[in-house]
Amino acid sequence: MHCVKNIIKVSRPLIQKRLLNNSAVNPATSASAASTISNKIKEELHKPGQDIIKNAFQVNQDNGTRPIYLDAQATTPTDPRVLDVMLKFYTGLYGNPHSNTHAYGWETDKEIEKSRKQVADLIGADPKEIIFTSGATESNNMAIKGVPRFYNKTKKHIITSKTEHKCILDSARHLQDEGFDVTYLSVNEDGLIDLEELEKAIRKDTVLVSIMAVNNEIGVIQPIEEIGKICRKNKIFFHSDCAQAVGKIPIDVNKMNIDLMSISSHKIYGPKGVGAIYVRRRPRVRMDPIITGGGQERGLRSGTLSPPLITGFGEACRIIKEDMSYDQKHIERLSKKLMDGLLSMEHTQLNGSKQHRYAGCVNVSFAYIEGESLLMALKDIALSSGSACTSASLEPSYVLHALGADDALAHSSIRFGIGRFTTDEEIDYVIKAINERVEFLRELSPLWEMVKEGIDLNSIEWSGH
């Protein structure tokens, strides 16, 4: 245990390097263009001053190459301080926290209640209002399905938006199959809902409004406090998917009149496989559980809790509350540097609001190239073209469609996720790499030739095959 305990004593730069060396994905590449760029990458890595890039781009027999990590919306690396807290629960403290007749159960139950308070303190809640789950997807399902089903005799209508996470939209469609009415609010070109449209959509039988705080693809921050006031005034329950917001922007469930909130541990440098749902006690929120059994977690989510995961989650909440100011300044500075470097290129645009947004999520469209081609060309940088939960689909982002982007622009968009352990040197490298490879891919495009010649592409009549 001593070597792990020492991790938390090292300076922030050393923690950054440790986490950087442990981050990995390996996008496959097969196109000849990608092969050409791959050779350029190797040349770049051998230039002086690229030591940190060499460390990031290590060869691993199991996972291939290990690129720079800029996909913080998909997941964040577990903070070493979190791991240190978790390890003892895999060896000595192995008791079932629901075994209330002996010390093995008492000691793990005590630690879980400590973690429950750490989660509650982060969002201004009472610990009794925190229900542990497997993550935000389960929490979202509990809220969207559980509340309407409980009140289904008198309330048959819910309201959400078109840019919600896929698990919210799928849960809403399941309710429609059960006979509920669902209103999907549109967003403007900045990705924000219209509060007047929300008020007009409210009916006498509206039971729940669900609007996410920070969008997982474009980082737009919705006016949560104003939405909460509208819901409270109309005596409607308000749920918010805060997986991308908790620990990154200030959240106070009482000030914002939030009745239910979904949280995920692995978005805030905690372990995967654990999360929570906040369920308000006064005024009381009632719901049908979607998992039944032993009656754990106030009967709302049965099943044996995992002490290692929950204590890691609690520690991650404690750390991110303590470090929030530092993290915000660090991420905002790197975000500005990245945006300045990318948006200085011609025919690029930031997707979503410039003012109402979380700085760590930067979604940029690069016109006249395919986003998938650019991802293939950037095998030394771990990026995404949208939500990790829908990355298997080749369809253009429904979130960008909702903002009014056409298929071509939606297909040319890349999401950059900046986190606690991202460094200046990495951002400098990414800006340089993006500039070079966008230019390279555009030169391969006949559309780019027409644009440079001043031809209006909208004036061309394309023939079918």
Q: Kindly list the catalytic residues.
A: 389
Provide Rg for the chain, Cα atoms: 23
Give yes or no for a contact between 279 and 287, defined as CB atoms under 8 angstroms apart: yes
Q: Within a 10 A sphere around the Cβ of 342, how many other Cβ atoms?
A: 21
What are the backbone dihedrals phi and psi of residue 215, each rounded to the nearest 5 degrees, phi first?
Answer: -70, 135
CA pair distance 78, 87, nearest whole angstrom: 13
- 381 forms beta bridges with 68
**CA 459 from chain center: how many Å?**
39
Q: Within a 10 A sphere around the Cβ of 153, how many other Cβ atoms?
A: 6
Q: Within a 10 A sphere around the Cβ of 104, how many other Cβ atoms?
A: 15
CA pair distance 10, 418, nearest whole angstrom: 22
Q: Within a 10 A sphere around the Cβ of 394, how many other Cβ atoms?
A: 8
